Amino acid sequence: MVNTQLFQTLKGALLPNANAVNAEQAPAYAFTPRHRLAQLAATGCLGQTFYANAEAQLDAVLTLAKELDAAFVAKTALYAREAGFMKDMPALLAATLAARDVTLLTQVFGRVIDNGKMLRNFVQIVRSGAVGRKSLGSRPKKLVQQWLLTASEKQLLNASVGNTPSLADVVKMVHPKPDEAWRAAWFAWLIGKPVDEAALPPITQAFERFKRESAQGAATEVPDVPFQMLTALELTATQWAQIARTGSWQMVRQNLNTFARHGVFELPGMTEAIAAKLRDPLSVAKASVMPYQLMSAFKATGDAVPSTVRDALQDAMELAIGNVPRFEGRVVVCPDVSGSMSSAVTGHRGSATSSVRCIDVAALVAASILRKNPAARVLPFEQAVVQLSLNARDSVMTNAQALAKIGGGGTNCSAPLALLNKERASVDLVILVSDNESWVDANRRGATQTVREWELLKARNPQARLVCIDIQPGATTQAAERSDILNVGGFSDAVFTMVASFAEGKAGADHWVGEIDKISLTSQ
């Protein structure tokens, strides 16, 4: 008779064995190279995170960009910019194409490098030598020239704000040769050459007049230039109010404390005017604002910012989550509140480090889903599930703040699934929001504990689906893709759209990478 101790039936024996280790050296499943690049592009920030430094992330992107098909790299750059609203990663991927396939770069350049900030990012990355060349080369140089020669005066003024490189540096580098007299005069003005003011375009002329009049104490009408160009001047509260009235939605969101510091909210009607702009549905939609940006603004506002304006940020948040879907059936959302989620969501960047942490974004995703799915169950977890009662009628900001206050402890991605199994709960959709660096539940061999617990849950709920949303770049997951498991990275509307399609059975486990693959490289 065989040794029954040696050959006893093993639970989970037919489940896929973990084939990698995560940053905590615990068993995990490796992403495919295509999925890994998509993960980095949609969530990467090229900054210090809890588990990876900026150099490691850069090396990973560059290695993958060389290994993978150049067309997929180009499509990933488009996805990261157009759907993920990223800045550094799309510019980096475009820069790798400058060294590898300038034909593909030409096809996607205008859609990836869609403003002056992106243009300066692209030039800086190429000239740094990180992608294998230090000069732009003839075709990339022509693409940069084309941007400079077709941008409007307003776009050029916006692009002139910022350094390393400055737009003046870029102009000196590529030597654009404009046909229009106003553009030639503007470039001369930008790089500090003598120029006839009358030859300048109207907004720049107004700016030069304003500077002279300000020096004489006679300036009144503020020119329509980026407000950063005005900060060195002595502006009155009324002039700051004009900046707030005419400024873009994003600019106003980012400078509420600045307006408070300069007395804008003390002027009659300005509190109401700024609040109205912030909560305007069309403005919120046009700004393509991410919910976490609103959380950042809400957290950053000082006591001098009126409560009416802070309330308007909460109203804007409700509008920003408008694309969060309603899911059919019994929904459970599980935000990771462990210690590793305490790092800044966009990575450490010195004085530019975001005040929003990974735990804030995980909490925000959970609160947003709860808002649109009031019957959903929220199970925050670290080493174990943390008991917390939330009211679906409370604002997204209120519930997100309550979740984000938990924090700490080790990571155990299987904990909420284990609790559901213990309760023998009926479930249709489980959404896990984590950095995937589970280690408390590590097994010595075989499948991860997350997959083992999911298999037990599936035995009771055959139609159930699991979505793992990763909000920081990682190389592994605790649950490998299969027909009922989707891994997706990021925290934009595109993520919610994919989750909805997957939950409805309209998309397979490869849906995310598949969506990137379907992107057209032709101009839109």
Per-residue model confidence (pLDDT) at position 10: 44
For domain 323-517, the question of CATH label 3.40.50.410 is answered with yes
The pLDDT tens digits along the chain (524 residues) read 455 544 444 454 478 999 999 988 999 999 999 999 988 888 766 654 544 566 878 888 999 999 999 999 999 999 999 888 788 899 999 999 999 999 999 999 999 999 999 999 999 999 999 988 888 989 999 999 999 999 999 999 999 999 889 999 999 999 999 999 999 999 999 999 999 999 999 999 999 999 988 888 776 789 999 989 988 888 899 999 999 999 999 999 999 999 999 999 999 999 999 999 999 999 998 887 878 788 888 988 999 999 999 999 999 988 888 778 889 999 999 999 998 888 877 665 555 556 778 888 888 889 989 988 999 999 999 999 999 999 988 888 898 889 888 878 899 999 999 999 999 999 999 999 998 889 999 988 899 999 999 999 999 999 999 999 988 777 899 999 899 999 988 777 678 888 888 888 877 767 778 889 989 997 65
Locate the domains of the chain by residue range: 34-199, 233-320, 323-517
Say whether 302 sits in a helix, a strand or coil.
coil
First CA to last CA distance, the chain: 71
Q: What pTM does this model have? A: 0.85
For the residues of 27-79, what is the DSSP string, one character each?
A: EEEEPPHHHHHHHHHHH--SSB-SS--HHHHHHHHHHHHHHS-HHHHHHHHHH
Peptide bond into 291 cis (omega under 30): no
Best CA proximity match to 294, nearest among 339, 249, 350, 337: 249
CB atoms inside a 10 Å sphere around CB 74:
26
Per-residue model confidence (pLDDT) at position 6: 42
Best CA proximity match to 430, nearest among 465, 398, 463, 474: 465
Measured CA to CA, the distance from residue 91 to residue 79 in angstroms comes to 12
**Could you identify the residue written with the tokens 């004489």?**
216
